[in-house]
Structure 1
Amino acid sequence: MWSTYDDYYKWLLSQNTTPGDMRLLFGLVPAYPVFMFLGICLVILVTAIQMNRRKVPLRELEIGILIIVPIGIIGGTFFGKVFLPNYQSWSNFYKVFFFWQPGMSFFGALLLGSAAGFGWFYKRSKVTQISMWVYLDLILVNILLGHALGRWGNLYNQEILGNPVSYESISWMPNFIKHRLFYFPNLMYYENSLEPGRHIYDDPLWFKSIYSNGILNLSITNNWKHIETGETLTELLTNKSLFQYRSPLFLIEGLGNIILWLLITFGVRNINRFSNKKNNPWSLQPEAYPSFWNPKFKSISEKKLIDWYTLAPVKYRKVKITNEDGESYELTMSLRSVWNKAYYWVEPDYESNKKLFSQIEEWRSDLYNATLKYQSDKKQFKIKLEKMKNEFNKKYKFTKSNLQEELKTQYKNNVTLEKQKMKEKQIEFNNKFSFGQRYLGVNPYGKELEKANNPNGFIVTRCGVSAGSYILGYGILRTILETQRQATEYMIPNHVVVNFLVLSLIILTGIFIIVMTQFVIPYKWREIGWLYEKTY
């Protein structure tokens, strides 16, 4: 195809187009904001579908969109441009908010957008009694789809490209892709030697002015020189080693995002359907779960089926059975329906939850009263010490010198005694209520509550694990792909060490969230009447 930038600009002239036109979708509108908008719409659409399936009200999402999207865009454009040299002068600083221009940081958008979303959904969760982790699971994971779609905008901006490759290796790709798989030369620092202070971009049609009848005009291009290296524009445009096709890293990352979304959506969220090999529903009660996986009952007659009330109707499928008595219809279930009936849609045991609720409320009342009493005792303790000090000072002035030492000793002993009494009260209070219960909201009946809502001890994926898997998975994917990026396209541009340290922190954060939401939070921070991976 092309071997130099000179070849490329000649092709643009032959097509009667400009470098800026390469960033337009269908030659009409800038592609980047279009794909960004479509990506956001895709995230909202898939999230709304999934929330509707889980019977989660959409009102919070609708308002959240108006908060999260603008703040996310501001974060993306700010962090994507603020580290670049051409935006660090005050005259250009305002352009860091031009989100339609190249230089959007996905992590910047995720950071500010997630912070805004966290605050909004955390506040609303107290009203809706839907765990914040449920919202995060339903929204964060779907960002992968929007991100994959939005990456096509990077193609039109000719950014997020990988290592140099030969043209033959990408020749099979459509023209609209392979014609953009190289970086534009940075001509910002080229100045006219005959007119000092005049830069090449001062003329919007500069690339047309350097050609005469389709041939490079050397008398013009030799006058344009790099202000630091002295390299002429002629050398830049004709040097074959400077024009390099590159791998479509944006496409690789997009495909990686889609694969990660599939793994989390259909893998991580359904671990329980494949991990309970011995302790599974059809082993515990074969007549209740006729299915392909049930060795005793692949299907069962409606009369023999053991059924009970669930929070939503369980779907059964009728199958025709032929036997010695003739043809008849029996019921069978999908694996999804099996787990809905066995766990997700099981109505919590009323008596157990009522008893637990009473115990929890009684404990909370005790904690509240004990806290008030302890705070009152501390206040009275300080008042008493102050009173004892004032009385001591008065007596000390009117006490004979030979008795002053005795009075001082008596005062110290009384203060020590009062402090010892207060210390005993503190120890008693701390022994009755742990630090986590007092300050972190730990529910001491968390294990009993979990057992009441999962009496069979099924292995299930807890809410929050999907969100943690997204952070972990994308952190790993981005770390791998970061090794092929230009330094200017790092998450933190031009800061290699800091960039990879932050990526490592993101990976560790993902691991931490998975461990906490799967193994700790379900046993310490859950409440009756709330929606988690199921309704408690």
Structure 2
Amino acid sequence: MIDWTQGDNWQDPGTWTVSSDYGGWFHVYAFTMTLGMILAVGYSAFKFWKKGIPVTQLAWGVIAIIPMSLFGASIFGKLNADGPGVNANGVGFWGLFAFWHAGMAIHGGVYVGTLTGLIVYGIMGRYTKVSLWTYMDCIIPNILLGQGIGRWGNFFNHEVMGPPVGSVSSNPLSWLPHYIQVNTQWRYTGATGQIINGINLQNGQVYQMAPIFFYESIALFIVWGLITFVLPNIGKWIGSKPWKKLPKEYHFNAGQGWLNFIMPWKYSAKQLVKHPERNQSYFVIWNQAFYKKLETDQKPTYEKEIAKINHKSASLTSRRYHSGRTLIKANNPQKYWITKVGAEAGGYFLAWNIIRFALELQRPYDHLFIMYEKTLSLVIIMVTAGLGLLMMILSQNVIAWFFRQPNKLYEKEYFEASHLDKAYFYYLRKWLNLNKTSQPKSRKKQTNSSKQEQIKQRKKISKEDKAAQKLAKMQKKKTND
């Protein structure tokens, strides 16, 4: 941990070659933020399409999430930025919302945006039959793309710098590209003799500052790649595979898969119908064997198991646990080791906050997540990382076992519910009724008993009427005779 305050002790050395504004109208910071958002939304749209979710559902979320994220980042970034009780550039309450000006705290944007997204997609998922975890995996990890690009806006603003690492003459970062070195060098204008990062500072000397923005940007892109392409596929790489489980149905051909990828025009849909062996590539097999396969043939077995569970299990918790395990098993009968939804979203909070924690140790007190509160900032960052790890664990086990439902989209679509699938909800309502207060129960019993008495009376009157009519007919017939 390096304790230091930037303040007004660091100035432009006169050698910078990049600027925050060009032509008085092109603001690089705003441009990089916009570009980052476009890229993040674009890849989220691709993941929606890949999951078979209408992209319009993403659009509704974006309309709510992006503005709230910008406001959250701006408020957290400008609040108390110039000292306790003094906002950035002395702005008032409404000035805190000016996200087009420098001074953004990404944690504020992530927290506010995530809360907004949970509300929007929590409500939407009840009607679309798409799990909230699925929405989160499709959107949240791609924030890393926006963050990675947005950090270059900080570079043009000459922000997000670490402590001095040496003088220009003895530059330990000479391995960096020249334009990054030149634009991360500052002239020290404070008192001579101050020591930061083990360097005895001299007034008027130019020092090389640690380019934290660059470290974070590269790390964010790497982490995004790991979360997006490695984490969902770990189980498929090291676990059982469809062409080994069902060799009569699937024949994996690695060479043919590469040819399909490199020359898609050669292997058209018509050709693949004529030559189905050309279609046995890695992604096609996994889609056919698991992701796009609706396990309707497992429904009879599943329904029998659910009936047994509802008959044998005494407690609600036990029924939920066993029903969830049975539902997962029915939709993955081959027991493929698949990463369940929720892991990617949790991985984002875990990995990003670990990166941020390492870099926050070097940031000045007046550029922290929570200004002038380094310990509090570090604690909140690590708590967020811990929550991400907990999210990854729970989404793969506890939450999957207790809260999954038929006819919803998770890592794949689960088959449609039948009357037996809904038995769990019948027992849930029955359990809730048993736990109601005694007064409503007694009223309900009274109402039921009164209805039964009325039905008996009606039946009795009906029988008497029929007997009277029959007697009248007999007397009339006797008179006629």
Q: How far apart are the structure 1 equivalents of 2:139 and 2:65?
A: 11
User: Share of identical aligned residues, percent?
Assistant: 28
Paired position in structure 1 for 2:33: 36
Q: 1:101-116 to 2 correspondence within 5 Å?
A: 101-116=101-116
Match of 2:246 among 277, 281, 285: 285
Partner of 1:136: 136
User: Shift in Å at residue 158 of structure 1?
Assistant: 1.0
Structure 2: how far apart are the matches of 1:352 and 1:449?
Answer: 10
Q: What does residue 412 of structure 2 align with?
A: 534
Query: Is residue 483 of structure 1 aligned with residue 361 of structure 2?
Result: yes
1:96 paired residue number: 96
Residue 347, structure 1, aligned to residue 294, structure 2: yes
Identify if the C-alpha distance between structure 1 residues 106 and 186 changes in structure 2 by more than 3 Å, giving closer, same or farther: farther
User: Which residue is 1:499 aligned to?
Assistant: 377
Pair 136,479 (structure 1): closer, same or farther in 2 beyond 3 Å: same
**Deviation digits for residues 384-403 of structure 1 (CA, Å, limit 9, x no counterpart):** xxxxxxxxxxxxxxxxxxxx
Q: Which amino acid aligns with 1:132?
A: L
Distance in 2 (alpha carbons) for counterparts of 1:282 and 1:471: 35
2:450 paired residue number: none
Measure how far apart 1:99 and its partner are. 1.7
Query: Deviations for 1:99-135, whole angstroms, at most 9, x for unmatched residues?
Result: 2222200000000011001100011000100001111
Displacement of 1:493: 2.2
Alignment partner, residue 323 of structure 2: 445
CA distance in 1, matches of 2:301, 2:64: 38
CA shift at 1:162, angstroms? 2.2
1:53 is aligned to 2:17: no
Residue 274 of structure 1 deviates from its aligned partner by: 0.8
Aligned residues: 379
Map 1:255-404 → 2, pairs under 5 A: 255-276=218-239, 279-292=240-253, 330-331=277-278, 333-350=280-297, 352=299, 356=303, 359=306
Task: Specify the alignment match of 2:204 in structure 1.
Answer: 240
1:77 equivalent to 2:69? Answer no
Q: Quick one: distance in 2 between partners of 1:7 and 1:156?
A: 13
Map of 1:471 onto structure 2: 349
* Aligned residue identity for 2:113: G
Asked whether the 8 Å contact 2:162–2:209 carries over to 1, the reply is yes
SS at match of 1:331: helix
Alignment of 1:166-245 (within 5 A): 166-167=167-168, 168-170=171-173, 176-182=179-185, 239-241=203-205, 243-245=206-208
What is the match of residue 152 of structure 1?
152
- Name the CA shift for 1:115/1:330 in 2 (closer, same or farther; >3 Å): closer
Contact 2:83 2:366 in 1 (8 A): no
SS of the counterpart of 2:80? Answer: coil
Q: Which runs of 5+ in 1 are unaligned?
A: 16-20, 188-225, 227-236, 300-313, 321-327, 367-430
Partner of 1:267, secondary structure, is helix
Partner of 2:469: none
Pick closer, same or farther for the CA change 1:329–1:154 going to 2, 3 Å: closer
1:130-160 alpha-carbon deviations (Å, 9 max, x no partner): 0011111111111111110011111122111
Q: Which stretch shifts more, 499-508 or 119-128?
A: 499-508
1:399-478 correspondence to structure 2 within 5 Å: 432-434=314-316, 442=320, 444-478=322-356
**Deviation for aligned residue 1:58:** 1.4
Three-state SS of the structure 1 residue aligned to 2:412 is coil
SS of 1:103's partner is: coil
Q: Cα RMSD between the aligned structures?
A: 3.6
AA aligned to 1:349 is T
Task: Flag structure 2 segments of 5+ consecutive residues without an equivalent.
Answer: 1-8, 192-200, 258-267, 415-481
Q: CA, structure 1 residues 134+489, in 2 after alignment: closer, same or farther (shift >3 Å)? A: same
1:173-222 deviations in whole A, cap 9, x for unaligned? 566533421458799xxxxxxxxxxxxxxxxxxxxxxxxxxxxxxxxxxx
Asked if the contact 2:32–2:153 (Cα under 8 Å) also holds between the matched residues in 1, the reply is: yes
Residue 463 of structure 2 corresponds to none
How far off its partner does 1:170 sit? 4.9
Q: Does the C-alpha gap of structure 1 residues 126 and 436 become closer, same or farther in structure 2, counting only changes over 3 Å?
A: farther
- Report the counterpart of residue 370 of structure 1 in structure 2: none
Partner of 1:520: 398
Task: State the TM-score, normalizing by the size of structure 2.
Answer: 0.70
Q: Deviations over 1:255-284 (max 9, x none)?
A: 1011001111110011122121xx332222
Q: TM-score, normalised by structure 1?
A: 0.63
Deviates most, 118-127 or 283-292: 283-292
Please tell me whether the aligned partners of residues 443 and 524 of structure 1 are also in contact (alpha carbons under 8 angstroms). yes
Distance between the aligned counterparts of 1:252 and 1:170, measured in 2? 12
CA contact (8 A) 2:39 2:145 kept: yes
CA distance in 2, matches of 1:487, 1:6: 17
Distance 2:68 2:363 in 1: 26
* Residue matched to 1:396: none
Contact kept in structure 2, 1:159 and 1:183, CA below 8 Å = no
The range that moved more, 485-494 or 103-112, is: 485-494
User: What is the SS of the residue equivalent to 1:245?
Assistant: strand
Report Cα offsets for 1:224-256 as digits up to 9, x if no partner. xx9xxxxxxxxxx99234x42212211110110
2-structure distance, mates of 1:89, 1:292: 65
What CA distance in whole angstroms lies between the structure 2 residues aligned with 1:480 and 1:6?
26
Contact 2:349 2:385 in 1 (8 A): yes
Q: Structure 2 CA distance, aligned partners of 1:457 and 1:283?
A: 13
Matched to 1:331, the amino acid is R
Measure how far apart 1:520 and its partner are.
Answer: 1.6
- Whether the 8 Å CA contact 1:86–1:92 is kept in 2: the answer is no
* Separation in structure 1 between the aligned mates of residue 84 and residue 35 of structure 2, nearest angstrom: 27
CA distance in 2: counterparts of 1:6 and 1:476, whole angstroms: 31
Q: 1:272 to 1:316 in 2, by over 3 A?
A: farther
Shift of 1:46: 1.0
8 A Cα contact 1:161 1:182, kept in partner: no
1:391-445 deviation line (CA, Å, top 9, x unaligned): xxxxxxxxxxxxxxxxxxxxxxxxxxxxxxxxxxxxxxxx9443687xxxx4651
Letter in 1 for 2:46: I
